[in-house]
Chains A and B, each alone.
Chain A
Amino acid sequence: MRAVLLACALMTPLPATAQNRGPILTDVVEGHILPGYARLSKATGALSSAAQGDCAATSPELRAAYHAAFDRWITVSHLRFGPSETDNRAFALAFWPDTKGFTPKALSGLIAVRDSAVETPEGFAETSVAGRGLFALEMMLYDPAFMETEDEPYQCALVQAIAVDINHNANAIDADWVLYASQITKPGGQSAFRSDSEAVQELYKALVTGLEFTANTRLGRLLGALDRPRPKRAEARRSERSLRHVELSLIALRDLAARLSADHPEIDTDLAKAFEKAIDRAQRLDDPGLAGIATPQGRLRVEALQQSINDIRSVATSDLGPTLGINAGFNALDGD
């Protein structure tokens, strides 16, 4: 009886979704993802070279290379699936938010014992993700507690090890994406995605999650309680990159959104308008480290920016999502 029941239940056919989304999938991969990771890889190569050339925390060349590489990371940081997640690469590139202060702890731990892990890339790759990546490098280059230590050669070796490790991870993601691309562009068959629908949903999720991350984590964490703003939670505030991250992420997400809505010009127009408003607000903020959050006026402006990002998300979830076949059940959406 049970066996028969199971057989019947298992033969229920999959719901038919026969829309051809091939062109969108190809366009996102070839126009958005692959170039993004290629640019990141190039920038981290330059960063690694700069650290070998001059490892001093105040080196203009090193700092410029750090900023360029971070820019490239932010423009792909919403693409959290596939090669970026292999071996925790994305977390090793950018461990943030760091709610429990793991990054300074990890760096202090390495420095305290002059950990020899910095001597080889393989050894360093085994250390905590919290002490690696762009946020660890930021601390080494911009935090007074780490810019100058008693043991200059070790500090230099640590900076270089972080830079090499960043480049290694970025190269690995870039190289893997070239192979992984067909998973998205050719769903079904050998792909982990069984249909166009599943592949396009992954890309849609990257858009919505990216908007949420910028609105809630990059900005929302700063707002704190009304009487207790949290300016020190700003992302990469030491190198005054906080606002730039908001702007760069929105520009990258606008590009992804436009490609995903290619079949629906009206939705594309609405999304473009919503992005334009948010990006414009970000660009007019003129507060690189978002320290102004501590003032009532600054808070209002950040809240307005956050709201305009939530408005983009509303258009995406109410208009774009349904065209891509996103399940919108009462319980399916609950997430608890």
Chain B
Amino acid sequence: MTSRRRFLAGLAAASLAPTQGWAAVGAPDYLAAALFPDGSHRLVGLMADGSILFSLILPARGHAAAAHPHRPQAVAFARRPGTFAVIIDCTTGAQTAALNAPDGRHFYGHGAFSQDGTRLFTTENDYEAGEGVIGVWETAQYTRLGEFPSGGTGPHDIRLMADGKTLVIANGGIETHPDTGRTKLNLPVMQPNLTYLDLDGSMLEQAELPPGLRQNSIRHLAVRPDGLIGFATQWQGQTIEHPPLLGLHRPGDEIRLLSAPNAYQSRLQGYAGSIAFSGDGASVAITCPRGNALHQFRVEDGQLIGAFELDDVCGLGTGGDGFVYTTGTGAVGTLGATVKTSALQDCQWDNQLIPVGRPA
């Protein structure tokens, strides 16, 4: 009872005191990491128009961040195989807490909060066993509560579905060990999957790619409010093969794979960095920094409806009716009826764009 009362009080506090929330920092649309000219890696509060609300120095290059649903707090993860993540108060830029992976675990660089913001779920590697786990943390002091299996090897991205009750996890399938950095240890036997778990870690469903695409590592996720999942992949097989790098899945259904015509698909070097649904939900896009391309598909029939050449594009998020993207050359742009650069900042945007205050 006590915890329920405290929980309700917390909700009331959050709604009655909006200055405690993201509004206190100007309500950024996204969080993004970037490398600045002074050599600092920073966490940036970014608006959809490309303007920078704040930039806070990080201890090192990060991978992705996660935004607390109510408090102006961000978790910034070290790049894998990092063992730390920092909690940053975005009103002050101060580091208010740190997550240290337990012995025998490292982070993969993504995390997701529960809808009420009381729990944080992190993708981790149990590297002696070569199995993925999801770490569970409470968010008052950010202490670890426990962990459960991720349902595969190499869990990378993790998202909370719009029902607030389901976690979807991209198990990339690739075994690595911190002793050998990012060296891939199990390519002959790798088997990626998409795993759905409830918040207690019980398995709800798993989906796999067809056998010939066993080496297509599922890495990044997007969630449409109606429960459709989009995933972006990185091909570990032959460079002369150009498999689909984008998939759609709805629990209970088969995976749908989307690909551009070969002349365009073959320029992507088998690598998609990020994925998002458009604001109107009618299209889905991936960014491909090795192919300098952004590909947009219609969800309904899976047809390619836009192929854009953008230098080192990678960050991608839902924005307006369409998308917002960032590039390693400093550009922030929008894709709606057309592609438009909104701002050119003096920094190199890192590969993920994290929406604040709404599911993605």
Contact = CB atoms under 8 A, between A and B. Distances in A.
Interface in A304-336: 327, 329-332, 334-336
Nearest to B237: A85
A51 to B, nearest CB: 24
B130 A100 contact: yes
A220 B290 contact: no
B130 A99 contact: yes
B238 A216 contact: no
A324 B306 CA distance: 30
B71 interface: no
B239 A336 contact: no
A9 B219 CA distance: 27
A203 to B, nearest CB: 11
A220 B181 CA distance: 9
A332 B264 contact: no
Given A329-B312, A331-B312, A331-B328, A6 B185 contact: no
Nearest to A2: B305
B276 to A, nearest CB: 15
A329 B348 CA distance: 10
Given A10-B307, A331-B312, A225 B179 contact: yes
A129 interface: yes
A24 to B, nearest CB: 18
Contacts of A202: 239-240
Given A330-B35, A336-B80, A99 B182 contact: no
A295 interface: no
Interface in A186-218: 192-194, 202, 205, 212-213, 216-217
B312 A10 contact: no
A192 B292 CA distance: 20
A154 interface: no
Interface string B140-180: 00000000000000001000000000000000000101011
B16 interface: no
Given A193-B240, A220-B183, A336-B63, A330 B308 contact: no
Given A85-B237, A217-B183, A329 B188 contact: no
Contact of B179 (A1, A192, A223): A223
A220 B180 contact: yes
B107 to A, nearest CB: 12
Interface string B324-348: 0001110000000110000000001
A330 B328 contact: yes
Contacts of B109: 336
Contacts of B240: 81-82, 183, 192-193, 202
Interface residues of B, number: 53
Contacts of B185: 97, 99, 217
Interface string B254-269: 0000000000101101
Contacts of A10: 264, 307
B130 A9 contact: no
A12 B234 CA distance: 25
A5 interface: yes
B19 interface: no
A299 interface: no
A332 B290 contact: yes
A5 B309 contact: no
B141 to A, nearest CB: 29
Contacts of A102: 189
A6 B305 contact: yes
A142 interface: no
B43 to A, nearest CB: 16
B50 to A, nearest CB: 17
B197 interface: no
A224 interface: yes
A6 B304 contact: yes
A1 B237 CA distance: 37
B273 interface: yes
Give 5 nearest A-B pairs by CB, closest first: A330-B328, A329-B312, A331-B314, A331-B289, A91-B188
Interface of B: 35, 63, 79-80, 109, 130, 156, 175, 177, 179-183, 185-189, 219, 234, 237-240, 264, 266-267, 269, 271, 273, 289-290, 292, 304-309, 311-314, 327-329, 337-338, 348-351
20 contacts: A1-B337, A5-B306, A88-B188, A99-B130, A99-B175, A100-B130, A100-B186, A129-B188, A202-B240, A216-B183, A220-B179, A220-B183, A221-B179, A223-B179, A224-B179, A230-B179, A332-B271, A332-B289, A332-B290, A336-B351
